[in-house]
Amino acid sequence: MAHRVINFAPGPATLPLAALEEAQRDLVDYRGTGISIVEHSHRGKDYEAVHAETKALLTSLLGIPDDYEILFMQGGARGQFAILPMNLLPAGASADYVITGTWSEKAIEEALIVGRAREAASTYVDGRYTRVPSRDELDLDAGAAYAHITTNNTIFGTQFFDYPDTGSVPLVADMSSDIAWRPLDVSRFGLIYAGAQKNLGVAGITLVIVRKDLVERGRKDIPHIFQYRTLAKEDSLQNTIPTFAVYMMRNVLRWVKEQGGLDAMEARNRRKAEALYGAVDEASEFYRCPVERGSRSVMNAVFRLPSEALEAKFVAEAKAREMVGLKGHRSAGGVRVSMYNAMEPTGVEQLVAFMREFAKANG
Ligand code: PMP
């Protein structure tokens, strides 16, 4: 048995052991071909089957309707910050951005290089974000090319549970850190994108789910490689795709399916989050979650201790007990517990037991 620790890192993040072990088996000799999965041609039948299975799993697990394209792109989620407006923000138009954290700030920054964009809301107060806005706080432009939200704010630990209603304006979502955490109604979105390295697999690939009419409407005065239509037309195989990243996504999605799909993921994730926030709240004189209750992320829980020295001690002692990746983002401080789909509930239970002990010993 390999030695594994409990990894609460924000991404690249822990993966299901079954997905890793499958890769270990396939790495040297893929299904008796005498060639590893990463050495197979991206145009050969072995890889083709992996590609098709990954898309089929995405379609069934996420319930992706027929009028959507599934694209695998490179450049990460930050690549999409640029590629999205390059495609869907025509000259003269304006896009709406709901600003709820560092990632949405960076997203609008890129849009402003391409064209016009405005803040439809921002929950920035005193250098940080402690909640997502309610629907009635949104100042939406009915003529916007699209409206963009970040469904889960990985750094500040906030999450949308009720998505805005943008009427006929396409809703675009960066779901990098919470895609597939629960069942999803894809038809409410014009476009969804997510870097794979949290809930879907390994770094190197970005999933884009986009309504076909938006692909068609996309600008043509940008290089072909950045046009969504090129990828849609070529099934994301216009050039050499990161085959291993797609393969790993397939392994992870196979695991999700075996667990019972997204209903099972939601039950599992809610259970972990309840345990974690329960431990924070029961020792409220010691642990303090800066996030408003209704915005508390199920994926990334952040909390503070009475001092930075105690926070450092907490992280160090947890590490000595083989619980790693708990240091908060440098811009937010504190402790951050990332509990993506693959995090086992027993991992969170172990952390919760440590939190109780630590509060008693240091409070
Ligand atoms: N958006 C969100 C919500 C993220 O959490 C991250 C990465 N942590 C990014 C965008 C940037 O992703 P990438 O590194 O794939 O560009």
pLDDT per residue over 103-146, tens digit each? 999 999 999 999 999 999 999 999 999 999 999 999 999 999 99
Strand pairing report for 94-99 and 116-122:
parallel
**How many angstroms separate the CA atoms of 271 and 264, rounded?**
11
Closest ligand 1 atom number to CA of residue 154: 5
Residue range 49-91, pLDDT digits in tens: 999 999 999 999 999 999 999 999 999 999 999 999 999 999 9
Specify whether 103 is catalytic: yes
Instruction: Tell how far CA 145 is from the center of its chain.
Output: 24
- CATH number for the domain spanning 201: value is 3.40.640.10
Q: Determine contact, residues 98/215, Cβ cutoff 8 Å.
A: no
pLDDT at 200 over 80: yes
Q: Is the CB of residue 227 below 6 angstroms from any atom belonging to ligand 1?
A: no
Q: How far is CA 165 from CA 99, 117, 140, 147, 190, in A?
A: 16, 19, 10, 10, 12
| Residue 326 neighbours by CB distance under 10 Å | 22
Q: Is residue 3 part of a domain?
A: no
What would you measure as the largest C-alpha separation in the chain, in angstroms?
63
Q: Is the CB of residue 176 below 6 angstroms from any atom belonging to ligand 1?
A: yes
252 and 294 within one domain: no
Using alpha carbons, select from 297, 291, 271, 266 the residue that is nearest to residue 159.
297
From 195, 229, 258, the end of a domain falls on 258
Q: How far is the CA of 30 from the centre of ligand 1 (A)?
A: 31
From 209, 231, 258, the end of a domain falls on 258
| Residue 167 neighbours by CB distance under 10 Å | 10
Residue range 156-196, pLDDT digits in tens: 999 999 999 999 999 999 999 999 999 999 999 999 999 99
Q: Is the CB of residue 103 below 6 angstroms from any atom belonging to ligand 1?
A: yes
Q: Is residue 226 part of a domain?
A: yes
Which of helix, strand or coil describes residue 338? Answer: strand
**How many angstroms separate the CA atoms of 280 and 354, rounded?**
12
Average pLDDT of the chain is 97
pLDDT of residue 2: 86
Q: How far is the CA of 195 from the centre of ligand 1 (A)?
A: 6
Q: Is residue 201 part of a domain?
A: yes
**How many angstroms separate the CA atoms of 363 and 358, rounded?**
8
Of all protein residues, the one whose alpha carbon is nearest to atom 12 of ligand 1 is: 77
Q: How far is CA 319 from CA 208, 273, 349, in A?
A: 35, 21, 15
From 206, 235, 258, the end of a domain falls on 258
Catalytic residue among 55, 96, 103, 327: 103
pLDDT at 1 over 90: no
Q: Determine contact, residues 71/230, Cβ cutoff 8 Å.
A: no
Q: Is the CB of residue 106 below 6 angstroms from any atom belonging to ligand 1?
A: no
Q: Is residue 219 part of a domain?
A: yes
Q: What contacts 134, CB < 8 A, 6 or more positions away?
A: none
**How many angstroms separate the CA atoms of 305 and 115, rounded?**
43
Total domains in the fold of the chain: 2
Instruction: Tell how far CA 151 is from the center of its chain.
Output: 8
pLDDT at 273 over 90: yes
Q: Is residue 248 part of a domain?
A: yes
Q: How far is the CA of 228 from the centre of ligand 1 (A)?
A: 20
191 and 84 within one domain: yes
Which of helix, strand or coil describes residue 192? Answer: strand
Residue range 230-272, pLDDT digits in tens: 999 999 999 999 999 999 999 999 999 999 999 999 999 999 9
Q: Is the CB of residue 166 below 6 angstroms from any atom belonging to ligand 1?
A: no
Output DSSP code: residue 187.
Answer: G
Residue range 2-32, pLDDT digits in tens: 899 999 999 999 999 999 999 999 999 999 9
Parent domain of 306: 261-362
**How many angstroms separate the CA atoms of 32 and 67, rounded?**
37
Q: Exposed, middle or buried, 320 (CB in 10 Å: 0-12/13-18/19+)?
A: exposed
Exposure b/e, 174-185, CB count within 10 A at least 16 = b: bbbbbbbbbebe
Closest ligand 1 atom number to CA of residue 79: 16
245 and 172 within one domain: yes
- CATH number for the domain spanning 344: value is 3.90.1150.10
Q: What contacts 172, CB < 8 A, 6 or more positions away?
A: 84, 88, 146, 147, 148, 149, 189, 190, 191, 192, 193
Q: How far is the CA of 60 from the centre of ligand 1 (A)?
A: 25
Of all protein residues, the one whose alpha carbon is nearest to atom 9 of ligand 1 is: 77
pLDDT at 219 over 80: yes
265 and 252 within one domain: no
Closest ligand 1 atom number to CA of residue 101: 3
Of all protein residues, the one whose alpha carbon is nearest to atom 3 of ligand 1 is: 176
Q: Is the CB of residue 201 below 6 angstroms from any atom belonging to ligand 1?
A: no
278 and 197 within one domain: no
Of all protein residues, the one whose alpha carbon is nearest to atom 15 of ligand 1 is: 76
Q: Is residue 6 part of a domain?
A: no
**How many angstroms separate the CA atoms of 118 and 96, rounded?**
5
Q: How far is the CA of 87 from the centre of ligand 1 (A)?
A: 20
pTM for the whole thing?
A: 0.98
